[in-house]
Chain A
Amino acid sequence: MMPKTLFNKIWDSHVVRSIEGGPDVLYIDQHYIHEVTSPQAFEGLRQRGIPVFRPRKTLATADHNIPTKNQHLTIPDEQSRLQVDKLKENCREFKIEYFGPGDPRNGIVHVIGPELGYTLPGMTIVCGDSHTSTHGALGTIAFGIGTSEVEMALASQCIMQQKPKTMRITVNGALKPGVTSKDLILYIIAQISSGGATGYFVEYAGAAIESLSMEGRMTVCNMSIEMGARGGLIAPDLTTFQYLNRIPPLSTRNDFKSMLLRWRSLKSDVGALFDRELAFNADEIRPMITYGTNPGMGMPIDGTIPDEGSASFMKALDYMGFNPGSKLTGLPINYVFLGSCTNGRIEDIREFAGLVKRRKRAAGVTALIVPGSKKVEQQAKDEGLDRILEDAGFQLRQPGCSSCLAMNEDKIPAGKYAVSTSNRNFEGRQGPGARTILASPLTAAAAAVTGRITDPRDLLNN
């Protein structure tokens, strides 16, 4: 038998039908939906007069537009309230499981899927959200889709999809202290650009990837889309199995052992051919920040903004208020955002809290600390992280997508700089006119206590 990539193994075993010269009909094991990209899909089903084909394979959560304060109250913004109510109604009508605001299982769709044990190795997973690639950290084919495809998944538990090409990104070596999984992925994206993996599905491999925790792997896979990749996955290993083993209702299932046995076979065969192979060295990576308006415009925190000269490049620098050749360390900033499906997990809050402990929030800095889920929020409280944050002048909010896309009121004002642990620094992403600098939770913490772009390694050493 020809050696096969993990991607091809999972994909091929989910093809219900191959259409000649066209896409595959791909079976979807797990479908996630949220309030923003699903209403038109349900409306489509109604117009066609058809039911949801497999309602138990879709899970719904409200995350994108909900407030991160006072979630027990009615959502103040009328449009947002309507949208969340609509999701709840649609789920009731079509018999889909729904975790609304305040529910102990609620949270950002890409945080709750893995932590509640819905996302399992070997699955195919889709969601009307480009960061669905997050779930690839558990060895799944997971990718974002549009609303027409959400309707397909609801109507038939399948979507029509052209098989992407395969790319392997091997990261050798080990990350240095103060350098995180977020820096690793920002580094890779800066190397290959925001469109550099378009048309590909990535497998991450190598010692630096293997040594990451599940949270770290999710951060890496999450941002696969930011280099244009359809998705990114990591072969499941002991770290994955131990993570899954900590999800009690899953590990106590009587078939858990047989599942484990099968998950162990989920890896690329030796000699499997990828359409493209890239390799990087983790030892070379320093804490990363972005200076432009796409995630590919990143550099080491102590680096210098390059000079590319193109109209698009200059437009981006103009928006950010930066010049080629300048450094960003020491730049005063006004806002810090810790959270999102990229960095809203317990490990991220631990890292942030660890650095701000026994320090104080800098004067003039507004920080939004938003857990990725109710479970993360609860765990942060159980570990006393909320107290550490409060002592340093920060407040832990309630879960949601929040300032990552600023659909709720968590907006960064025009012209202000925000050091953000989220995934996109697009123009206006965090609010009209907002200027986003993407960074790790450690770099965000360093900015929060100094009020400037600060190399977190300088604080970790003291």
Chain B
Amino acid sequence: MQIEKFDIIESTCVPLPLENVDTDQIIPARFLSATSREGFGGNLFCDWRYDNAGNKREGFVLNDPQYRGSVLVAGRNFGCGSSREHAVWAITGHGFRAVVSSFFADIFKNNALNNGLLPVVVPEEYLAHLLATIESKPDSIVRIDLGKQLISLLPDGEQVSFEINAYKKECLLKGLDDIDYLTAMKNVISAYELRNTLKNENRNNGHHPEGR
């Protein structure tokens, strides 16, 4: 199945200068009862965006008309906590294509990559510079070039490189997903199972002590 291809984006940004933003804030647990991937965008950061009566909270960045765009810039350790992929679905559902931070929680990062949302890891100092620039000039435009692994502020900001593993980069550029790759190598997986069933009897034999 295809995920949305990622190449180059140029966009204004939404700044969220908070650290340790956990996935419970990105999408609170009470919205996890849905059984499809759609419809989470409207509840992104729900409890920071709306008060108990459902009114917009002034002062939260998503309610600030100055800030628009498909790039979210957030403090370090973004996406920590629960493994819920719903957090990524909420972010993409809202229209973001990339999140920039100085580091991401591991599970969130994988979930993002599996959904075509680019996690851009930049040095702490650059993150601070980016946040300060966006906050003082909300119409600042950032350019993210996945092919060259570069991020910069337009028109002439410093170009900063970011890391991404080569395989995942290829998947994003071409819009490929891992499951096609894995299902295409089932023979190799079966051969692995055979080798290891002979070696390790407790593995790979459908061990169900109480189940059946």
What's the Cα separation between A79 and B29 when bound, in Å? 13
- Known A37-B83, A146-B110; judge A29-B29 contact (CB<8 A): no
Stretch from A155-163, A213-221, A347-355, A443-451 forming part of the interface with B: A155-163
What's the Cα separation between A144 and B37 when bound, in Å? 19
Report chain B residues within 8 Å CB of A161: 110
Asked if A130 and B167 sit within 8 Å, CB to CB, the answer is no
Q: Mark A17-60, 1 if CB is under 8 A from B, else 0.
A: 10111110101010000001101100110011010011011010
Chain A residue with Cβ nearest B180:
A48
Total interface residues on A, CB under 8 Å, equals 94
Q: Mark A416-446, 1 if CB is under 8 A from B, else 0.
A: 0000000010111100110000000000000
Name A130's contact: one of B35, B82, B207, B208 (CB within 8 Å).
Answer: B82
Name B114's contact: one of A64, A146, A310 (CB within 8 Å).
Answer: A146
Report chain A residues within 8 Å CB of B207: 118, 120
In the complex, how many angstroms separate the beta carbon of B137 from the nearest chain A beta carbon?
20
Name B182's contact: one of A47, A77, A86, A158 (CB within 8 Å).
Answer: A158
Interface of B is mostly: loop
Stretch from A245-253, A278-286, A333-341 forming part of the interface with B: A245-253
Question: Does B22 sit at the interface, judged by CB under 8 A?
Answer: yes
Name B212's contact: one of A64, A97, A157, A296 (CB within 8 Å).
Answer: A97
Question: Does B65 sit at the interface, judged by CB under 8 A?
Answer: no
Q: Mark B4-33, 1 if CB is under 8 A from A, else 0.
A: 000000000000011110101100111011
What's the Cα separation between A228 and B167 when bound, in Å? 24
Asked if A120 and B202 sit within 8 Å, CB to CB, the answer is yes
What's the Cα separation between A255 and B177 when bound, in Å? 40
Asked if A146 and B107 sit within 8 Å, CB to CB, the answer is yes
What's the Cα separation between A37 and B34 when bound, in Å? 10
Residues of B in contact with A, size category? 35 or more
Q: Mark A292-325, 1 if CB is under 8 A from B, else 0.
A: 0010100000000000001110010000000000
What's the Cα separation between A47 and B37 when bound, in Å? 13
Question: Does B198 sit at the interface, judged by CB under 8 A?
Answer: no
Q: Give the residues from 233 to 264 in chain A that come closer than 8 angstroms, CB to CB, to chain B.
A: 247, 249-250, 253, 255, 258-259, 262
Question: Does A289 sit at the interface, judged by CB under 8 A?
Answer: no
Give the A-B contact count at a CB cut-off of 8 A: 230
Asked if A230 and B106 sit within 8 Å, CB to CB, the answer is yes
23 inter-chain pairs at a CB distance below 8 angstroms, sorted by A residue, are A20-B166, A25-B185, A36-B84, A40-B35, A40-B37, A56-B208, A64-B32, A79-B33, A117-B210, A129-B83, A145-B107, A146-B85, A146-B88, A148-B85, A156-B182, A156-B189, A161-B110, A194-B77, A199-B103, A249-B209, A255-B202, A312-B18, A428-B47
- Known A19-B167, A105-B210, A194-B20; judge A27-B114 contact (CB<8 A): no
Chain A residue with Cβ nearest B168:
A22
Asked if B29 and A414 sit within 8 Å, CB to CB, the answer is no
Binding site for A on B (CB under 8 A): 1, 17-20, 22, 24-25, 28-30, 32-37, 47, 52, 75-77, 80-86, 88, 103-107, 110-111, 114-115, 165-168, 177-179, 181-183, 185-186, 188-189, 192-193, 196, 200-204, 206-212
Question: Does A188 sit at the interface, judged by CB under 8 A?
Answer: no
Report chain B residues within 8 Å CB of A195: 20, 76-77, 80, 103, 105
Asked if A428 and B28 sit within 8 Å, CB to CB, the answer is yes
Q: Give the residues from 145 to 202 in chain A that come closer than 8 angstroms, CB to CB, to chain B.
A: 145-149, 151-152, 155-162, 164, 194-195, 198-199
Asked if B208 and A97 sit within 8 Å, CB to CB, the answer is yes
What's the Cα separation between A40 and B36 when bound, in Å? 6
What's the Cα separation between A205 and B183 when bound, in Å? 38
Question: Does A123 sit at the interface, judged by CB under 8 A?
Answer: yes
Report chain B residues within 8 Å CB of A105: 210-211
Chain B residue with Cβ nearest A55:
B206
In the complex, how many angstroms separate the beta carbon of A236 from the nearest chain B beta carbon?
13
Asked if B36 and A16 sit within 8 Å, CB to CB, the answer is no
Chain B residue with Cβ nearest A200:
B106
Question: Does A406 sit at the interface, judged by CB under 8 A?
Answer: yes
Name A156's contact: one of B30, B106, B177, B179 (CB within 8 Å).
Answer: B179
Question: Does A82 sit at the interface, judged by CB under 8 A?
Answer: yes
In the complex, how many angstroms separate the beta carbon of B81 from the nearest chain A beta carbon?
6
Asked if A16 and B188 sit within 8 Å, CB to CB, the answer is yes
Name A123's contact: one of B18, B35, B85, B203 (CB within 8 Å).
Answer: B203
Question: Does A407 sit at the interface, judged by CB under 8 A?
Answer: yes
Report chain A residues within 8 Å CB of B201: 255, 258-259
